[in-house]
Amino acid sequence: MSKVCFPSTAIFDCDFHMATLSQYFLSSIVAFILYRWVQFHRTKAKIDSIPTLGSNNFVGAYIDGWRFLFKGHEIVKEGYKKYHGNVFKISTPNTSSGWTIVVSGAALHDDLRKAPSEILDMQATTTDVLQTEYLFGPHAHINEFQIAVVRTPLTRAMAGGFGELTDEIVDACSTYLPKGDDWEVLPRTHEKLVHVICRTANRLFVGLPVCRDPEYLKVQEEWTIHTFLDATILHLLPSFVKPVVGPLMSKIHPSLKTVTKVLGPIIQERIDKDAKYGSDWEGRPSDLISWLLDYAPPEFKTVEDMVVRIMFVNAAAIHTSTMGLSAVLFDLAAHREYIEPLRKEIEETTRKLGWTKEAMVQMHKLDSFIKESFRLSGMAGVTGMRKAMKEFTFSNGVKVPPGYTIGVASCGVHADPEIYEDPESFDGYRFFKSEETAWKNQAVVLDPTFVLFGLGRHACPGRFFAVNEVKAVVSHVLLNYDIKLPGDATQVMPGIWFASTRSPNPKAEILFRKRRLDGA
């Protein structure tokens, strides 16, 4: 009797499992889309009374959100023109609600400036935008006393520590900038300037020799960028998967480990001495570690907590300052007619006052040039961002419910022809008309027509440090180097925008040579 052979059941099992996986995958996609659809309509319904720039439907708003990541500054400018003096909303994938409510006009700016923290909170915006609850683990909800440290002791310490800052600027520029007598391109110019700023800031933060430790510097320069990218990705995921995916993506833990290896023994010794002798023992360094310990409640006086806060301060100090420095140097290289007048001011001022913070404050023409460069380069399309913790009502009657992010259309303000004459043109002396009026027009002064640093009590607490640091680096460069753009160009290569934040074009370069006193 012949034997009947049947096909192997393994083939059917394989087909079955593949079908099951395909069905599961498709079901997951459908469930995710349904989840986002419900979430979209739930959040939009609460702010339907606020006009939308772009689409109001699910698919259109989703596309607009992706457009915002790459064209955010153009979208904000369009909204500023269309709804000037009013409030509008735009789809933004980097906020928990999926929307950013943008305001323009002096009256609404004033409303934001006066709003108390318990209603409109700046720190909650940072927690939201950076997804700290998922990326930072136990450090997500910390007492942010480091902001007070930046606002007061760090700012005050610049006067006494300015000699160390200038010493580090000299050494860092010697290390990273060209040294030859002939023109030499500085490859990856912005990246090299990150090194200069990171070392300079950390000379005041943690001092020698740590401020020159390659491993320490590498972490401080890189982890912030990873955090912003990881946070943007997390915003695109459903809330219920973030607690799982976030820790897997986070770069904070290996970064903490590296910085703790470098700083841990120093911090522990400082904690032990403070416990034994009090906080005024002889020889106690005046640096970020000491200031943080002075401001820290007892439960936060640990090595791990101090390391995290030092990293947070670095994150705020390094990249924004470098973007500002890059913008100024690129503009100087493009507008070389300003170089000799600025050199003259720098030489006269430092001859009279030395390399001091006071000298930086007296450089009014340089300050004007820096402020104009900041205005045109933008750096951020929306500033002064705050999250509504309770319902907030603007003076025009517009209500914003809790959970939504509000910001100022800074790129619209800075390009407004009613505020600035010929706003698209570069005028290095725009903010310097006379010595008498120069003080009120300084870059650090809060002004509703210049909102790069925010508004009111929540304005950037580190702006004094950042502007004076940029001034000091630019002053050193101008006195020691000649600079120009490749091909003697007079136009700076356009920057790269991401989620309304501008960075210099990574391909843009500056040519350097040792300064020639003959002017050739």
Which residues fall in the annotated binding site? 460
Supply the angle between the helices 463-480 and 155-176 in degrees, to the nearest 10.
Answer: 40
Task: Report d(CA 62, CA 78) in Å as an integer.
Answer: 18
Pinpoint the alpha helices (H) of 155-213: 155-176, 189-205
Q: Is residue 287 packed enough to be buried (19+ CB in 10 Å), middle (13-18) or exposed (0-12)?
A: buried
> Across-strand partners of 481?
514
Cite the annotated binding site for heme by residue number.
460
d(CA 100, CA 102): 6
CA-based nearest residue to 438, from 363, 514, 336: 363
Q: Which are the contacts of 27, defined by CB distance < 8 A and separation ≥ 6?
A: none
Angstrom distance (rounded) from CA 346 to CA 471: 10
Tallying the residues shown for the chain, one arrives at: 520
Query: Alpha-carbon dihedral of residues 168, 169, 173, 174, nearest 10 degrees?
Result: -50
Q: List, in sequence order, every residue forming a beta bridge with 483; answer none if it has no partner.
A: 512
Q: Kindly state the DSSP code that residue 54 receives in the 8-state scheme.
A: S
Burial 417-426 (b: 16+ CB within 10 A, else e): eeebeebeeb
Please spell the DSSP secondary structure of 339-384, one letter per residue: HHHHHHHHHHHHHHH-SSHHHHHH-HHHHHHHHHHHHHH-SBSSEE
Q: Residue 470: what are its φ and ψ, rounded to 5°?
A: -60, -45
Find the DSSP H helices in 46-154.
58-82, 106-114, 122-129, 132-135, 146-149
Show the CA angle centred on residue 259, arms to residues 254 and 265, nearest 5°: 130
Residue 77 structure tokens: 């400018």
Q: What's the rounded Cα separation, in Å, for the pair 485 and 310?
A: 36
Q: Which residues contact 256 (CB under 8 A, 6 or more apart)?
A: 304, 307, 308, 311
> Of the candidates 520, 507, 516, 518, which has an alpha carbon nearest to the alpha carbon of residue 185?
507
Matching residue, tokens 């000298």: 359
Which among 220, 162, 224, 217 has a CA at the least distance from the CA of 464? Answer: 162
